[in-house]
Amino acid sequence: MTVLSLNSFAAGKWVAPAGTITSLKSAIDGRVIAELGARLDFAAMIEHARTVGGPALRALTFHERAAKLKALAQYLNERRDALYELSYETGATKPDSMIDIDGGIGTVFVFASKGRRELPDDVIYLDGNLEQLGKTGAFVGQHVATSLQGVAVHINAFNFPVWGMLEKLAPTLLAGVPAIVKPASATAWLAEAAFRMIVESGLLPDGAVQFVAGSTGDLLDRLGSQDVVSFTGSAATANLLRANPTILENATRFIAEQDSLNATILGPDAAPGTPEFDIFVKEVHREMTAKAGQKCTAIRRILVPADHREAVIEAISERLAKTVIGDPRVEATRMGALASLAQRRDVLEKAALIGSEARQVYGAENGFAEGVDAENGAFVSPMLFACDDPDGADKIHSVEAFGPVSTVMAYRDLDHATALANRGAGSLVASVFTHDPEVARRVVLASGAFHGRLYFANRDTGREATGHGSPLPHLVHGGPGRAGGGEEMGGIRGVMHYMQRTAVQASPDLLAGITRIYVKGATTIAGQKHPFRLRFPELEIGHTLETAERQVTLEDIEHFAEFTGDTFYAHMDEEAAKANPFFPGRVAHGYLILSFAAGLFVDPAPGPVLANYGLDNLRFMKPVSPGDTLKVQLTAKAKTRRNAEYGEVRWDVTVVNQDGEQVAGYELLTMNQM
């Protein structure tokens, strides 16, 4: 195999290695795979990101950015095979590589979808509801989010060179912020190959992404208050980077996702022979062997009821004994190598520390497949320990061997189990295997504050369960304390890390102008045409229809009750209704009010309105009695283009009585032709 020369991508150009050159070796047999070394003008890179990439991204709406992400995910998805081949040299099996490569691409797809569904076709995001700051509504407040005008520096870990890069890039680009990517050197050839595909796709604006193959030099020293550092790796490195004087002085955002001592709990109800016990053993084995245990979310501490400890040890050991360790290209291999010889040395050193407080109950000395290069390859056998005194121990709760190493410890009761889980001082994830909802609730209350994610699995979660060690783009990935105190992904929450939340205080007219969304109290537009006769581009925000009136009679109420079957006493029994403190007597059905409202504002002829597909935020403010008169104000509140054929219109619907008092309100959603 030809030795790869890993280039950096700076200010729109590929830059060959220079300065101190580092050789990168195969995890399988120690052959030199690639060389890297960066001698870059980091000031120019930051300037390029801020003045070229940032403005280009911010000129795009969230939907336009999401469309680029979707196209990029499709582009990468068609080119996975080349990445799989390079991934083998990191020690990863095909299933391991799929977690990294397919998982990363899938994450981009999710953020693209969420950008289209949950963000506006605009460059301003509304965070939360409108706040009325005075009695009359003439002064209001709204939290908005806008893109930071700096650069995001992504410092990634060696264990997931593709997923780690893409799960940071997706929310960053969706937020409209350019990124400089720094992969871990040990597996940088795979990250560079994936990044090269991103550039070659031509889908992103110039300056949106840059790449550092080698040292970051003085990059962090040049960051300011509009920039973000997002780091994945060890706590020691995170603390070193976080303490950079420039980062501290400028309050540069620093997001850390650190390795942690994740725990799993076998519920007190999950005895041998139950489905939960079997699922638990299978999951522990998978977490020990997937990526050779090199996952920041892998299970490090196994907490089981004292009565079941030996059964758990026996069951896990039996599965480990059947695990073929060897060349990841060989079909029979079930666990590959660690990423490097340096990583193997570190794992063995940390395992020895754990062994000072626990006895090793599994760890085959010669459990490798035939043909394995045990000297030059970074192979190591899974190691299972058992700690007889978890309360008195320290290292099993503070030392992590970042490989296929886990420790079993027994608990007396559930309170003891959660206390032991919390001894990890903050983790990315803890899992619980139980069929008892009360056990699940007690764990959340006792341990939720110590873990970024709690994963519950049992016989009911079935095939849809993603596993203890699988963070999902929809949910936050991070954790308190030892885990770094940061968050990644989490859907739109992840996007917000690269945006500034600002409290805007203004009149309704000014706020409507800022947000391009109608605000109650803002000036409305009384058009000549019924708003349902206007196509999507013709309809203006604030276009309002004031309807005629309609009186509600007792006959209407009784007919609606008979027709629908809703004969609730408040509509049918005068004496019982008056006894209710909320009603003056018999009142109209809420859905009768909605039906009459629709009858007042709907234009019946075929036209631009293709469909009414729902309503949001329905509230009934005041009862409607027989003899009351209803009138509706229908106002175009917001518009979102969906495709070339139609767009979504959100209408503010206000229903008032003869005294001008609001009796109901909601938001109607329609699809309108272009």
Residues with a known catalytic role:
257, 296
Instruction: Please list, in sequence order, all residues whose beta carbon lies within 8 angstroms of the beta carbon of residue 555, skipping any fewer than 6 positions away.
Output: none
Counting Cβ atoms within 10 Å, is residue 291 exposed (0-12), middle (13-18) or buried (19+)?
buried
| Cα–Cα dist 245/236, whole Å | 17
DSSP β-bridge partners for residue 431 = 264, 455
> Token pair for residue 454?
């709690």
Is 18 in contact with 214 (CB distance < 8 Å)?
A: no
Q: Where are the beta strands (DSSP E) in 100-149?
A: 125-126, 131-132, 140-147
Residue whose structure tokens are 């041998």: 272
DSSP per residue, 192-257: HHHHHHHHHHT-SPTTSEEE-SS--TTSGGG--TT-EEEEEE-HHHHHHHHT-HHHHHHT-EEEEE
How far apart are alpha carbons 323 and 640 in whole angstroms?
A: 53
Residue type present at position 390 = P
- What would the two tokens of residue 199 be? 């550039």
Question: At 646, is the secondary structure helix, strand, or coil?
Answer: strand
Amino acid at 512: A
Residue 378: enclosing H or E segment and its boundaries?
A: none
| Nearest alpha carbon to residue 181 among 147, 219, 132, 146 | 219
CB 631 within 8 A of CB 665: no
Task: Give, for 635, the enclosing helix (H) or strand (E).
Answer: strand 629-641
Nearest Cα to 230, choosing from 501, 480, 477? 477
Paired sense of beta strands 405-411 and 430-433, if any: unpaired
**What radius of gyration, in Å, describes the C-alpha atoms of the chain?**
30
Question: In this structure, what DSSP letter does residue 2 have?
Answer: P
Tokens in use for 74?
């499709």
Residues β-bridged to residue 23:
35
Instruction: Return d(Cα 593, Cα 587) in angstroms, integer.
Output: 10
Question: Residue 667's closest CA among 626, 634, 629?
Answer: 634
The separation between the first and the last C-alpha atoms of the chain, rounded to the nearest angstrom, is 55
Residue 78: exposed, middle, or buried by beta-carbon count in 10 A (0-12, 13-18, 19+)?
Answer: exposed
- The torsion defined by the Cα of 181, 184, 186 and 191, in degrees rounded to 10, comes to -30
Q: Is the dihedral of CA 193, 194, 199, 200 positive or negative?
A: positive
